[in-house]
Structure 1
Amino acid sequence: MNELIELRIPLTLFIERETSLAHCYFDFDLLNNPNVLHHLITPHLCIRYSNTTISTSDIGSIISLLLKETKCTLPHPYVPQVTTKHKLLNDILTYINNHLNDAIHTQTVAQHFFISQSYISILFSNVMRMHFKNYVISLKIALSLHDLLSPNQSIQSVARAYSFMNLSTFTKHFKSYLNVPPKVYIHQYNKQMSLCQSDLKINLITQDYNKLLTNNQQQETTPLPYTLNLNTSWQTQSFPIPMTFITIKDIATLSKLIHIQDDYFNLTNFSKPHIYIEQLATSNLTPFNIKLILAILPKLKSKNCCLVLPIYSIAFYQLLERQLLKIIDSNCTYYPYYKSIKFVIHDDCLSATQLDSLKRLIRKRYPNINIGASLDNYINKPQSNFASTINFVRDSNMDFYFINQHFATLIYKLTHTTQTINGCEALLSFIKDLKSYAKLLIFTHIATDDINNYFNAYTEINDVKISRFLIELSQHIGGFGFPLLQEHNTDIAVLNPSTSSMSLIHIYSMLLPFMGQNIHFHELGLLMTKDNTFEILFYDGAHTINASSQYLITIKHEFTQHFQVFNRVLGPSSNLFTKPLANNTSIDTLQLDKMLLDNFSKVNTPNDYIKVHKHNVPLEVLVDKGSLHYLKLYT
């Protein structure tokens, strides 16, 4: 449990005990006996404390211990030290830290170090990933927090102390970082000060969190045995590489996605990634947005990612050609990015003749650009059925086709029956009749009901079910599409509303090593071997309704020397921890405690383990129900 503990103590309780808090830091390595701190904290993790109160004296004991044994006093206010590989930048950062009470600009720093202002800006942009001005102001605001709480300081005097031009400038910057003006911040502190005089009650979300931990504790059961023999020969088949389309609402979201994807997820975790802009109006094709697209294309190409743009009419295409494509065509720098662009034609207002003319026009002018079409408009026609849809796909001759429909809705519209039918059988029958054209289908709306409908088993959706669904359908279709942000509780998306990574990202990262390879499908997952290296995926998908919560897997091998075992585990917690938030309508996830949301995200992240295993002993792996294990065995 020690890896899950994160202690947060109200600032008011610390300041009450240590007035010079801003002039010190805490070094936990100085603890004489860490077990003492552990003993003070861990009792409050017991479920009996849920929905009760905790005495402030208990927290006072923790504060006393920290102040006594870990406090390190400084002659000046504490400022986080940032160290880079660039010596000049380190010197600049030290200079800034020592002059935070002064008016610091790039001009003053440039004069001190005899360099240009533009070079300073480049250093901060390329190395620090932030603007010089933002770095300076953020430190000034951070240091002002403690000063504002002093009864002897006014807001105006604090603003002057850190050389802000005036009170309104200080207030504006303060609000941009803390979302409240200084006056409200002081009021909130005083209010918390009065609250901390009494016992502390565990809040609503913490109660839910504790209940969640308790309700999902697994009962002790005897694990089911399973043996995998690496010494036998297996039948193998190719695991195709499906395309992945991440849907974003508009062009404004495109810029945000590029900036956040390195922090929250990596596009390279997905197979053949595509970014699909769902809505692109004529008014969006401004010079600024065109420059934005041109700036983003190299970043997408570096991650082998394509940008997919919608086309609504011949007139819209001609406008897009004038505003974007001709710039790419006339500039040798941009020309390689042609293959990173794809089109999806929405034929809502197009006749069959217009659709064909538009397709011919694009292919004649830009033969390297793939063209897709949305099948939804055709499927929604009253006369459409399986046969007519198959004929439409064969005759229209597109590079790919979007289907943005729930499976149940799709099957109903194509069969025109309300009778209960097996969703998997009906869908696979449609795919089978499409033959090779089925590899052009992209299902862009995957929800939990679709997965349940496919398996004809309406049970809790977990990572195993999602994985099996992706693995099985990848054998038949061209790919899948998912929204960037989850809008509905049933959506399978990349990020949830709090921008925490959902399990989909990690599932893809565990499936990716097997894609495009010849693999063996064993009862509990996938197996691949190459150059005396074995890669294995384990899940409990073959027995999802079995009462046992674990599998004890014995792996027999013929290694003649000790070998390394890498084990990446994606536990069943991903859906368990996010479901209470999604189902609790009284909780706005965007307003929740950031620490709690960060911890949810950490819990949802796979854990990696590596060890050396003896060559003369079979390898045993314990697989919990609903969890995924990716193993790599190598010498």
Structure 2
Amino acid sequence: MRGITIELLTQCQSETYRVLDEIQLLVSLDGILDIQHNGRSRHCYNHIAIINNLDIVQISNAQSMLKVCIPMHFFSKYHANNHTGYFSQDRFSSHTKVISLLKRIIKDDQNKHSQALMYDILKILFEESYVQIKDFYTPDICVNNKLLNNILQYMYDHLDTRVSLKVLSEHFYVSQSYISILFNKYLNYSFKTFFLTLKVGYSLHSLLTTNDTIQSIAAQYGFSNYSNYSKIFKSYIEISPADYRTQAGNMDVMLTVQPFDYEHFIGYLTPDNLSHSAMNITIDFNELEQPSYTHNRQLYLEVSNIHIYDAIQQMHTQLVDSTAPANLTLYFQDLSAKEMRFNNTIELNHFCQCIKSINLSYAFRIHNMKQFEAFDQFVLKPMLRVMSINPYIIQPEDFKVSLILMSHYFSAQEMIYIKQHMCKYLPHCQVALFVQTPFSSKHQRTIHTMCQQGVSFDYYCIPFAALIESTSTLITPSLIDNVLNRFQLSMDDSYTPIVLTDLDETTMANLWRISTISYPNKFLSLLLALPSIVSGIGFALTSSPKNAIAYYNQYSHQLPYGYINQLYQHFAGRLNSQTEHYLLHDTDDAYLLLLFDPYFSQSNITSYAPQTYNYQVLSAYTLSTQLVVTYTYDEVHSNVTNGISQDMELYYLPSKDVELIHQTFQLQPHVTVHNFFNKILHISLPPQQIKLIKIYKHKATKKTHIL
């Protein structure tokens, strides 16, 4: 009998074909896999697509794809009559584990250990997703054409007769050519090929489970004679019906990895670290942790050396077609008078329109009175004129602004004047103090004098560099807490929020001193572990060769820190059940579950061993059959910088390629239906992944029940 084959394809598009006497596993290591499966379009991202025996499939777009063909007889050890069942895509959950096993098999090609790993995969597939049914499995082919669906059902019901286009034409009162057109249009498959492959597929069961002669089996499925049946059978199964029947009992293990482009796949074939024991974590919706408050963190996106109009216009272009998180502040650090001046009224009006149309706050760092006077003359007063002349363009509440004053260069009287002047025209304006480092007793006395003279601040800005005394400093949540507590005590102010600015690679490298953890995962740890007094984090808007920590890269692609922020915003400012392994928020219509590595909660950690976490989600009384949506951040597949090499900064990149990268590198969504009443929801979280799981509370409803 045929053995199991693994084929690796760098790029793949296929004609429509029917799977016969096997199941196929399709997975893209690049996360790009678009298929037409039984008449439905599917986007499989990083999940394994299971194609059953008799299914019809067309691969329309795949990159770095693994195609695993498993003949049906390999499942006979689990169920003798396996042709009467099928493998349910919705029940299968161990995508990551099976992909890891496949990588190990490919690297250990022709090794006995590889065959043992393949049997592990077969066992996982059968135990998780095999569904036994009474009758022979019939693919649920559903197309957007009622007549063709009725024709398909008629053909299923008359397999034992010689159904032809003429018979169908007379039964459904349409022309034969029209029926042919329907098959080609909706299935990319001719009527003749569809019916022949269907009958051959059904005949396999009779060959294996009955003692009927091959001639009688041929007649049973509408073939004209034995010769015709044998010829067609061999063209699809590659051996004759007689040889197929005699070899059915031969269970010699055969596993073949077909030759492939090793240089292309070598980067993908590093197996996930399976040597570390996986940890099992149970989440029971009926026994949740006591809710606690998850703090909101404002992101200050630092801008320098760019005209204020150009920066706002760039943000408007990037955010106008998307829902911008409400916690973003555009932070201008060093604006010169030239970078504040508008060229004409049209430019000013468009600037105001952009501000009104995007949901951003704005902060301006002011060094001295001369710079404030320039801001007042070239930004504030022109905008006030627009507000008074045409309030439909912009109103005072649309311009959410704060001024961040440098502590070294202002007197108390100047700060009081600035605050009164701003609040006169923009009542919601905030004034903050940038505390320069090192923070000395002289600075402390200066600020105390300001407070005694009636100066108050809405928040303080402190650079992350203030937390690092040397390059060997180990930054932990407890260290950050201690430094900020000392600052609050010295200021005799325990209520004013603090914004930590200038987050860069130096800080990230010193954070928890864990080299195996990626920067995006460390960034999530910051959002979760910082003390409540920290209301915001500042880092660059656009990356540079000197600092890769930013919200966008030079091609205007959102970097992982933006994606992490989007995931975090589902929980920020809310009460959540929080443990060291997950955050869970209970809304009116869904459960939101954020899964992550637990290292952020370990304040004294000095080493970190990557580990896979297996979650079991239970809901004995709350849920039954529910929609489950998963968004996955992965260090490789969700990080746009992995798709553009560093030397590309010197070259022009075609816009179509930039757009393709933008479409590819993002949170990979996956939608499925899970029956909590009958089965636990299993979720695997490999190292350096973060998952947001949305489990809807309302019962999943089929379209037919609604219509």
TM-score norm. by structure 1 comes to: 0.59
The aligned counterpart of 1:198 is: none
The structure-2 alpha-carbon separation of the partners of 1:231 and 1:603, relative to structure 1 and needing over 3 Å to count, comes to: same
Q: Say whether residues 1:342 and 2:401 are aligned partners.
A: yes
Does structure 2 conserve the Cα–Cα contact (< 8 Å) formed by 1:379 and 1:389?
no
- Residue 418 to residue 596, structure 1, CA distance change in 2 (3 Å): closer
**Alignment-derived partner of residue 410 in structure 2:** 351
Pick which of 226-235 and 418-427 moved more: 418-427
Q: Whole-Å Cα distance in 2 between the matches of residues 475 and 2 of structure 1?
A: 52
Q: How far apart are residue 372 of structure 1 and its match?
A: 3.1
Equivalent residue letter for 1:292:
E
Query: What CA distance in whole angstroms lies between the structure 2 residues aligned with 1:469 and 1:579?
Result: 23
Partner of 1:118: none
Describe the shift of the 1:234–1:301 C-alpha distance in structure 2 as closer, same or farther (beyond 3 A).
farther
Give the helix-richer structure, 1 or 2.
Answer: 1
Corresponding residue for residue 241 of structure 1: 296
> Quick one: distance in 2 between partners of 1:38 and 1:334?
45
SS at the partner of 1:228?
Answer: strand
Amino acid at match of 2:673: V
The letter of the residue matching 2:581 is L
Amino acid at match of 1:510: L
CA contact (8 A) 1:402 1:443 kept: yes
Q: What are the superposed Cα offsets for residues 163-186 of structure 1, whole Å, 9 maximum, x if unpaired?
A: xxxxxxxxxxxxxxxxxxxxxxxx
Match of 2:258 in 1: none
Deviation of the 1:359 alpha carbon:
2.5
- The 2-side partners of 1:328 and 1:39 are apart by 53
Q: Which residue number in structure 1 is paired with residue 124 of structure 2?
A: none
Question: Which of 616, 627, 631 is matched with 1:554 structurally?
Answer: 616
Residues 428, 351 of structure 1: CA spacing in aligned structure 2 closer, same or farther, 3 A cutoff? Answer: same
Q: Tell me, in whole angstroms, the C-alpha distance in 1 between the residues paired with 2:60 and 2:298.
A: 50
Q: For residues 418 and 547 of structure 1, what CA distance do their matches in structure 2 show?
A: 23
1:304 aligns to 2:363 (yes or no): no
2:670 paired with 1:609? yes
Deviations 1:139-179 (A, max 9, x none): xxxxxxxxxxxxxxxxxxxxxxxxxxxxxxxxxxxxxxxxx
Q: 1:179-258 to 2 correspondence within 5 Å?
A: 210-215=265-270, 218-219=273-274, 222-249=277-304, 250=306, 251=308, 252-258=310-316
Equivalent pairs counted in the alignment come to 448
Distance 2:664 2:590 in 1: 29
- Higher strand residue share: 2
Instruction: For 2:675, give the aligned amino acid.
Output: K
Show the counterpart of 1:533.
590
How do 1:322-341 residues align onto structure 2 when only pairs under 5 Å count?
322-329=381-388, 331-334=390-393, 336-341=395-400
Instruction: Establish whether residue 428 from structure 1 lines up as the match of residue 481 from structure 2.
Output: yes
| Contact 1:245 1:275 (8 Å CA) reproduced | yes
Q: Indicate the residue corresponding to 1:179 in structure 2.
A: none
In structure 1, what residue type is equivalent to 2:690?
L
With over 3 angstroms needed to count, the CA separation of the structure-2 counterparts of 1:575 and 1:458, relative to structure 1, is farther
Contact map agreement 2:7 2:66 (CA 8 A) in 1: no
Amino acid at match of 1:328: M
- Letter matched to residue 440 of structure 1: P
Q: Please state how far the C-alpha of 1:598 moved relative to its aligned partner.
A: 4.8
Partner of residue 687, structure 2: 625
1:229-628 equivalence runs, <5 A:
229-249=284-304, 250=306, 251=308, 252-262=310-320, 266=322, 268-288=323-343, 291-311=346-366, 312-313=368-369, 314-320=372-378, 321-329=380-388, 331-334=390-393, 336-347=395-406, 350-363=409-422, 365-366=424-425, 368-376=427-435, 378-380=436-438, 383=441, 391=448, 396-403=455-462, 405=463, 407=464, 409-411=465-467, 420=473, 422-433=475-486, 434=488, 440-473=497-530, 475-488=532-545, 490-531=547-588, 533-542=590-599, 547=609, 549-557=611-619, 558-573=621-636, 578=641, 584=646, 586-588=647-649, 590-592=651-653, 598=659, 600-616=661-677, 617-628=679-690
CA spacing shift, 1:296–1:400, aligned 2, 3 Å? farther
Q: 1:515 to 1:351 in 2, by over 3 A?
A: closer
TM-superposed CA distance for 1:623, in Å, is 1.0
Q: Cα deviation per residue 1:527-572 (whole Å; 9 max; x = unaligned)? A: 1113363211001233896545421100111335322212111122
**In structure 1, how many angstroms separate the alpha carbons of the residues matched to 2:365 and 2:64?**
55
Structure 2 distance, partners of 1:389, 1:574, is 50
The 1:462–1:589 alpha-carbon spacing in structure 2 relative to 1, beyond 3 Å, is farther
* Greater Cα shift, 282-291 or 232-241: 282-291
Distance in 2, matches of 1:399 and 1:40, equals 51
| Secondary structure of the structure 2 residue equivalent to 1:324 | helix
* Preserved CA contact (<8 Å) 2:640 2:662: no
Distance 1:232 1:439, change over 3 A: farther
Taking structure 1 as reference, are residues 371 and 598 closer, same or farther at Cα in structure 2, changes over 3 Å only?
Answer: same
Q: 1:370, 1:399 within 8 Å by CA — same for their partners in 2?
A: no
Q: Which runs of 5+ in 1 are unaligned?
A: 9-27, 48-201
* Distance (Å, rounded) in 2 between the aligned partners of 1:39 and 1:284: 47
1:399-456 alpha-carbon deviations (Å, 9 max, x no partner):
23333x3x3x31357xxx8985655433212333538756632223222432343424
Task: Read off the aligned partner of 2:298 and give its amino acid letter.
Answer: M
Aligned ranges 1:27-106 → 2 under 5 Å: none
Distance in 1 (alpha carbons) for counterparts of 2:403 and 2:521: 32
SS in 1 for 2:533: coil
Return the alpha-carbon distance in structure 2 between the equivalents of residues 579 and 624 of structure 1. 19
Give the drift of 1:397.
Answer: 1.5
1:122-154 alpha-carbon deviations (Å, 9 max, x no partner): xxxxxxxxxxxxxxxxxxxxxxxxxxxxxxxxx
- Do 1:372 and 1:401's aligned partners in 2 also have CA atoms closer than 8 Å? no
Q: Is the 8 A contact 1:500 1:598 kept in 2?
A: no
Distance 1:620 1:516 in 2: 29
Deviation at 1:627, TM superposition (A): 0.7
Distance 1:501 1:592 in 2: 17
1:130 alignment partner in structure 2: none
User: Counterpart of 2:198?
Assistant: none
Between the two proteins, what is the percent identity of the paired residues?
13
Q: C-alpha root-mean-square deviation of aligned residues, in Å?
A: 4.6
Counterpart for residue 148 of structure 1: none
What is the alpha-carbon distance in structure 2 between the residues aligned to residue 332 and residue 609 of structure 1?
Answer: 44
TM-score (norm 2): 0.54
**Distance of 1:536 and 1:347 partners within structure 2:** 41
Letter of the 2:666 partner, please give it.
T
Query: What is the deviation of 1:247?
Result: 2.6
Q: Distance in 2 between matches of 1:345 and 1:39?
A: 50
Paired residues of 1:552 and 1:621 also in contact (CA < 8 A): yes
Q: State the shift of 1:213 in Å.
A: 2.7
**Aligned AA (1:254):** I
Q: Is the 8 A contact 1:229 1:556 kept in 2?
A: yes
- For the 8 Å contact 1:424–1:453, the answer to whether it is kept is no
CA distance in 2, matches of 1:599, 1:361: 50
